[in-house]
Structure 1
Amino acid sequence: MIKENLEYVEKNIRKACEKAGRKREDVTLIAVSKTKPVSDIREAMACGITVFGENKVQEIRDKTAEITEPLSWHMIGHLQANKVKYLPGVACMIHSVDNRKLADEIEKQAAKHDLVMDVLVEVNMAHEDTKFGLSPDEAIDFVKEISTLPHLNIRGFMTIAPYTEDPESNRVYFKGLRELKDQVNSLSIPGVHMDTLSMGMTGDYEVAIEEGATFVRVGTGIFGERDYSKKA
């Protein structure tokens, strides 16, 4: 099933890139493996997938302890500052930076490991009460504020668009995030040049690609529905 699902997702990614006049290599598929067992991840690896996304620090720690092959692991879920210490050297990017306390802790832990952590600033484009992230109006000032932290490399923005039956209804949010990125780049903030937009999930990744996504986060579309009653 995973192999067939990946072939279907890949076909759709290529189609969306073609429609938008973009190169396929400009879009990275993140296979969101949260709650899924290592056996599923290995099945995806056998199909050539090397980039995986996890929502919980404990899961990313457990899975990277068992899977020692060189993969790119992305922390895409809400992150508490007290869990950051487990991520340097494990996650290659943190997608969900949305407050100064968290940014300061990433700075502190990255400095301890003598590395620079790639991060994305999470923006709640649809102003949903149930989601984390800064409002679009706060995002640029926040980027300026944390741009002085030497062990953070602010690569771009991430958003989680509303769940919808109509992917087209999320186009406005993806377009808005791209425009926000372009606005930041036009300001020439020292040390900041954004090249990354993490947006689009199983239900709307094609529209996200058409609007400039460089990372699409697909879980259910690859691994099937999740059973949250079971531990991974």
Structure 2
Amino acid sequence: MNDAGVTTREDELRDNLRLVRERIQAACTAAGRPADDVTLVAITKTFPISDVRALAALGVRDLGENREQELKAKAPDCQDVTWHFVGQLQTNKARSVVRHAAVVHSVDRASLVAALSKAAVAEERVVRCLLQVSLASFGPRDAATGRARGGVEPEDVAELAAGVAAADGLELGGVMAVAPLGGDPGEAFAGLREVASRLRSEHAGADWISAGMSGDLDAAIRHGATHVRLGRALLGTRPPLG
């Protein structure tokens, strides 16, 4: 609280962060995993730069955006953190994203691999890439039909992974996914874990599993998530896009 006894935004974020960390700890304990197995990525989409600065001051070291416009606006103002890009990415935005983000979670096609590689070489950076995997086939049929969240099909992961591994300026980091709407997230994340295991058998260093958001992080951690992407649980109700 401030001197007037009013709860500030910093107080709110501090309390939310404590609760989120407790939830991650509990999920890890239930899964028989140490809490430091899991990295919190705070998704600051539509929230102001003041929230970004506050989270960084509270010790959050990984921040994510899903729109190129917001990433390029916020990242220069907060450079002592690792920026993650988690949204769908057009190839013509690749260089802007590469300029600011160390990790791209949403690699889903060969044309994007080529664009990211070209941008990384031009910017003299190495970008860690996660393959976004469609989990539609791991959920109930009615949840999957027309409601998938995008991504490469599991059977096509190996080919796309080989492309990333061979590309200049890129590092294959692992997989990312969003559970299908209306389905059982545990079933979906169990499927992702199988995909991740097959990927690691071919690419030992590709050991990240980015899965789990505010509503399903417990299931994701139970099935091996190494990174959870949290917005609402940490920052509250998302303001509308400007």
Same-fold call, TM cutoff 0.5: yes
Give the aligned residue type for 2:217: Y
The structural deviation recorded for 1:170 is 0.6
Alignment partners' CA distance in 2, 1:172 and 1:28: 22
Would you say 1:98 and 2:113 are equivalent positions?
no
1:78-126 Cα distance to aligned partner (Å, 9 max, x none): 0000001112341010000001111000011111122221000001112
Alignment partners' CA distance in 2, 1:97 and 1:3: 32
Give the aligned residue type for 2:200: N
TM value normalised by structure 1: 0.90
1:172-208 Cα distance to aligned partner (Å, 9 max, x none): 111111111111222x35xx63110000000000110
The structural deviation recorded for 1:46 is 2.7
Q: 1:76 aligns with which of 81, 86, 97?
A: 86
The structural deviation recorded for 1:5 is 1.2
More helix by share: 2
User: 2:157 maps to what in 1?
Assistant: 139
Would you say 1:207 and 2:219 are equivalent positions?
yes
Equivalences for 1:208-227 in 2 at 5 Å? 208-227=220-239
User: 2:64 maps to what in 1?
Assistant: 53
Q: 2:191 aligns with which of 163, 173, 176?
A: 176
Q: Which segment is superposed worse, 124-133 or 215-224?
A: 124-133
Give aligned-pair identity as a percent: 34
| Matched pairs, number | 223
TM value normalised by structure 2: 0.86
Q: 2:97 aligns with which of 62, 87, 100?
A: 87
Q: Which has the larger radius of gyration?
A: 2
1:105-160 Cα distance to aligned partner (Å, 9 max, x none): 00111111222210000011125444221111222222124332132111100001
User: Greater RCO between the two (CA within 8 Å, min separation 6)?
Assistant: 1
Give the aligned residue type for 1:78: Q
Moved over 3 A (4+): 127-130
RMSD of aligned residue pairs (Cα, Å): 1.7
